[in-house]
Structures are given as C-alpha cells and as structure tokens.
C-alpha cells in the first residue's frame, strides 16, 4: 500500500517548490505565494513517482502482464515478418513492432515494462504539466480515474492513449495532417483508438448552454435505450474491425462513474462564464459530454469503457479550468466546491486502496503493490 500512498502525498511536499531560470541558471524558489503554487513541482514529481512505480512493478501487478510477457518472449525470437504473421490477429501491428524493436536490445521483460512505462507516462505528464495550477486537484482526480488503473495492466491501450495525447497537441494547433498521423499511430497500437479521430471535429465544435436543450435529451435517450443502441453500434464495429468488436451487452456495474461524469458536466455548464472561456476549455468540455454519453454504455459492456478511456483522461485537466472561469459565484463558494472535490476523491482513493490491499481484490489486480524483486 505504501507506494500508492506515497504517490498521492509525496508530491505535496513539492507544492511550495518552484524552479526558475535566472541569469542562465536554474534556481529553486520556495514559498507559499500564488506564483509559486501555480508553477510548483507537484505534478512533475507525481508523474516521476508514477513512472518509477510502473517501472519497478512485478508481473503480478496488472492482470494482463502474463499475456504480454508471452507475446514478448515469442516475438523477440522471431523476425519481424513472422511476428506480424503470427500475432496480427491477436495484437495490433505497431505494438508488435514495439515489442520486436525493444527485443533487439534486451530479452529482459522488466526492462521492456520500463520502456513502455516511459513511453506511456511522458505524453500524459507533458500535457498535465502545461498548466500546473490546481495541481493537487488534478492529481486526486487522475488517480481515481479508470485510466490510472489501466496504466498498470493494459500496455497496448496505454500506449495508444499516450499517442492520442500527442495527436491532441496538434488538434490545439489546428495542424490536421500531424493530428491525423498520430491518430493513425494510436490506432496502430490499439484498435479502440479510432476514438482519437473524433478529437479534431469535437474540439473545434461549439456547444454552449443554449445547446443543452438538445444535449440533455440526447444523453437521457442514450441512457434509457443504451442496450439496443450499443448492440446496433457493436454490429457496425464488428463489420469494420472483424471479430474484435463482435460483442454482446452484459452488466458491468459502472454507474458510479456515470454519476460522477454527469455531475462534472453540470458543473462545467453552471459555473463558468462562457464569454471568458478559452478554446481549450470549450473543447475539453465537449470531450466531457462525449465521455458522459459513452459512459452510458459502460454499465452494459466493458468495450464502451475502453472507448471512453481516450476522453476520460482529459477530465482532470478540464475541471480546474472550469473553476478558473467561474462567474457569479463568490471566491469562498468556489473554494468550498474545490475543497469538497479534493477531500472526497482523496478519501475515496485512500479507502479503496486500503480495502483492495487488505482483501487482494482490485480492478485489474493493481493492488497491493509488489515490486519485481519480490
């Protein structure tokens, strides 16, 4: 349990530490001023610790690692052509290539896990650290999202999510060809990454409060008729991507996160002043609405959750931006709401972590943490 507690609390020690460049030298600045707090080392330290934890985890941390070890050990003894021929129906081509390339340098699966961890975390850290304001709020939201647990188990989709974030950087710059290239790269790592292709139009679309008259009924209809809609969509996907999407509806019990995302969507429309919101905040709010819609399908099949990972990962970035553009609310009331979110999610993380470590039962076998040397 200790590494997971360290992951949440150790970065707090650096929330009053900032590095600045003066006279071509980097110096450390300590203080509680807003300028220091909003540019602190909290988030960089968090992602550094996360990377170390991922690199040093044993093979029992993450339900799918046994399978990935099997693939890795088979691929590294074959040439690339034979690897693709043997595994292309089971894993995506670029992930086969990644295994093969790393295998040219080492047969050690632990080193391979470390390489994948770095490839995965760097794009996430880069995006999250662009704006370090409300760092601890971002942190507690991130570690409570399903995407956090996925980093420990789903190597293919984790890399695909990371490549999707690289594609997102070009969405913001309106560089469609670069965006499309990295979206295809993401798709080469995991077939669910076709969801990244929707980043560009969704980000640049304009949905304001007046459009809630359309959005709310659509979300309600999707929730009520989620099973027949999902069955129809799954049929289309199975024809496009062969048997990978030949799925049927089943209960998964994912209502809690649906409620959380819906509550965040309400905050995203009630709190901010739309006239002061920048393009990124508006775009990420559009992502949140799609995340709510996709989550409506999550209670009946895990495929919907896998498709939603590409949008869930943006929620911890959006929520602080919503508070930044608040209008019509006192500073004290906004502070109260932010504090309530932080306390709730920090407490929820601690309770679920403790319970999982005590029982040994957790999502994707992420808890308790066991380092590779044990």
Flag whether the pTM goes above 0.85: yes
Place of tokens 């993450």: 62
Q: Judge whether residue 332 has pLDDT over 90.
A: no
CA distance 362 to 374: 19
Please report the pLDDT score of residue 244 as a whole number: 56
Q: Tell me the pLDDT of the chain averaged across its residues.
A: 86
CA distance 46 to 349: 15
Residue 218: both structure tokens together: 């659509």
Give 273-311 pLDDT, tens digit per residue: 888 888 999 999 999 999 998 888 877 777 778 889 999
Please report the pLDDT score of residue 178 as a whole number: 96
Confidence of residue 229 (pLDDT cuts 50, 70, 90): confident
Give 156-175 pLDDT, tens digit per residue: 999 999 999 999 999 999 99
Nearest to 318 by CA among 246, 373, 254, 267: 267
**Span 254-273, average pLDDT:** 87
Q: Which residue has the higher pLDDT, 366 or 105?
A: 105
Q: Which residues of 245-273 are buried (b: 16+ CB within 10 A; e: fewer)?
A: bebebeeeebeebbebbbebbebbbebbe
| Range name among 188-197, 266-275, 292-301, 309-318 with the lowest pLDDT average | 292-301
Please report the pLDDT score of residue 236 as a whole number: 67
Please report the pLDDT score of residue 247 as a whole number: 53
Q: Judge whether residue 72 has pLDDT over 70.
A: yes
- DSSP characters over 285-297: HHHHHHHHHHHTT
Within 10 A of 312 (CB to CB), how many other CB atoms are there?
23
Rg (CA), the chain: 21
Q: Cα(first)–Cα(last) distance of the chain, in Å?
A: 15
Confidence of residue 235 (pLDDT cuts 50, 70, 90): low
Please report the pLDDT score of residue 138 as a whole number: 95
Confidence of residue 238 (pLDDT cuts 50, 70, 90): low
């Amino acid at each position: 349990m200790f590494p997971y507690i360290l992951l949440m609390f150790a970065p707090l020690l650096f929330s009053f530490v900032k590095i600045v460049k003066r006279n071509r030298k980097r110096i450390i600045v300590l203080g509680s001023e807003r300028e220091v707090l909003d540019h602190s080392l909290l988030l960089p330290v968090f992602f550094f610790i996360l990377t170390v934890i991922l690199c040093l985890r044993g093979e029992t941390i993450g339900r799918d690692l046994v399978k990935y070890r099997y693939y890795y050990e088979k691929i590294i003894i074959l040439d690339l052509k034979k690897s693709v021929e043997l595994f292309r129906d089971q894993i995506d081509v670029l992930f086969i290539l990644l295994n093969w390339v790393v295998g040219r340098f080492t047969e050690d699966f632990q080193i391979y896990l470390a390489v994948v961890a770095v490839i995965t975390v760097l794009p996430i850290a880069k995006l999250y650290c662009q704006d370090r304001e409300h760092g601890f709020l971002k942190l507690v939201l991130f570690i409570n999202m399903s995407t956090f647990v996925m980093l420990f188990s789903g190597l293919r989709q984790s890399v695909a999510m990371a490549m999707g974030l690289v594609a997102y950087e070009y969405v913001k710059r309106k560089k469609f060809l670069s965006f499309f290239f990295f979206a295809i790269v993401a798709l080469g790592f995991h077939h669910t990454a076709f969801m990244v292709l929707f980043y560009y139009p969704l980000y640049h679309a304009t949905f304001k409060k007046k459009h809630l008259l359309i959005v709310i009924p659509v979300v309600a209809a999707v929730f009520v008729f989620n099973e027949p809609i999902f069955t129809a969509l799954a049929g289309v996907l199975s024809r496009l991507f062969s048997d990978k999407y030949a799925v049927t509806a089943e209960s998964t019990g994912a209502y809690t996160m649906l409620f959380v995302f819906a509550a965040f969507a309400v905050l995203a429309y009630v709190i901010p002043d739309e006239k002061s919101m920048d393009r990124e905040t508006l775009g990420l709010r559009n992502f949140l609405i799609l995340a709510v819609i996709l989550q409506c399908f999550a209670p009946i099949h895990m495929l919907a959750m896998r498709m939603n990972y590409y949008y869930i990962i943006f929620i911890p970035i959006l929520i602080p931006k919503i508070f930044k553009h608040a209008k019509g609310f006192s500073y004290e009331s906004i502070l109260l709401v932010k504090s309530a979110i932080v306390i709730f999610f920090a407490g929820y993380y601690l309770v679920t972590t403790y319970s999982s470590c005590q029982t040994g039962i957790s999502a994707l076998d992420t808890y308790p943490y066991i380092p590779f040397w044990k």
